[in-house]
Structure 1
Amino acid sequence: MTNKQRALDYMNAVFTEKDMDKVETFFGNDWTQHNPSVKNGIQALRDVLTDNEMNWEPSIVMEEDDIVAVHGRYTNFFGKTVIAVDFFRFDDDGKINEHWDVLQEEVPAEKTASGNAMFPIRASH
């Protein structure tokens, strides 16, 4: 299995299945979080997701060496729709050791300067 597929499986476990026991199987021993609002470790992730009914759908997924980037849309992200790129670094055992993200509230295409949507939907990954 590729790290690209592992990243998609992880995101699906978190946001579609909402199965925290399964989510824990994706992390290495020294998980480092680079989002400035979230602490390191699985408990911090549990805290963010508790009582939050956000959903996620993928768009573009890229893999280079041990880094996977996942472009996606989060709906009901603390009451907003957000476009994000999540970056994951995997260890040699296929476990996630680091996470970065870049988040931006979605702007409808008709309100952008270019008229282009922020979220392209792709049928395959």
Structure 2
Amino acid sequence: MIELVDPNDSRAVRNKNNVLRFYDLVINQKKSEESIATFMTPGYIQHNPLIADGAEELGKFFGQITKERANARVVVDKIIAVGDYVFAHVNFLNLFNDDPEDTGIAGVDIYKMDSDGRALEHWDTLQPIGDPKNSAPWLAPNLPRANPNGMF
């Protein structure tokens, strides 16, 4: 994992660590509903149209996914923290299927954090990763890759 954070910016270091703990506890350890309030403010604003506003709603969303998908997990590839913002480049695996060969969904999450290190607001952009013969499975099925670079 690549981490970019000024070690002298204690707020940014704390925020980065909180986002990493959020991913681990909420998704990888499947403890979303009992731990979500540690990481999100009650009035948490969600910009992903699939998820309602509020920490409790985010906890329910991931709680449902992790109950249905035992293999659901997230791998953080890069994380950048500056002041009140954290940017994470991640791979969400098995969130919407049980395929052991799932290549996942590449995501860039952006969090705005409060003075206590909890997320106030979240934006994301998501892209299915696909494979060499099917590079964009949801958008343009069976379109081969145009380059060998990969998402991470």
Work out whether the TM-score is over 0.5: yes
User: Number of paired residues?
Assistant: 119
Are positions 1:7 and 2:11 aligned together? no
Moved more, 42-51 or 30-39: 42-51
* Cα offsets for 1:21-62 (capped at 9, x unmatched): 122211123210010111101232233221342211110001
Are positions 1:98 and 2:110 aligned together? no
Secondary structure of residue in 1 paired with 2:94: strand
Contact 1:16/1:56 (<8 A) preserved: yes
TM-score, normalising length from structure 2?
0.71
The structure where strand makes up a greater share of residues is 1
Unaligned runs of 5+ in 1: 120-125
* Cα offsets for 1:62-108 (capped at 9, x unmatched): 11221101111111121262110111110111111111111000033
**Partner residue in 1 for 2:54:** 41
**Partner residue in 2 for 1:78:** 96
**Over aligned residue pairs, what C-alpha RMSD do you find?**
1.8
Secondary structure of residue in 2 paired with 1:87: strand
% identical equivalent positions: 28
**Residues 52-91 of structure 1 aligned to structure 2 (within 5 Å):** 52-53=68-69, 54-79=72-97, 81-91=104-114
| Larger-Rg structure | 2
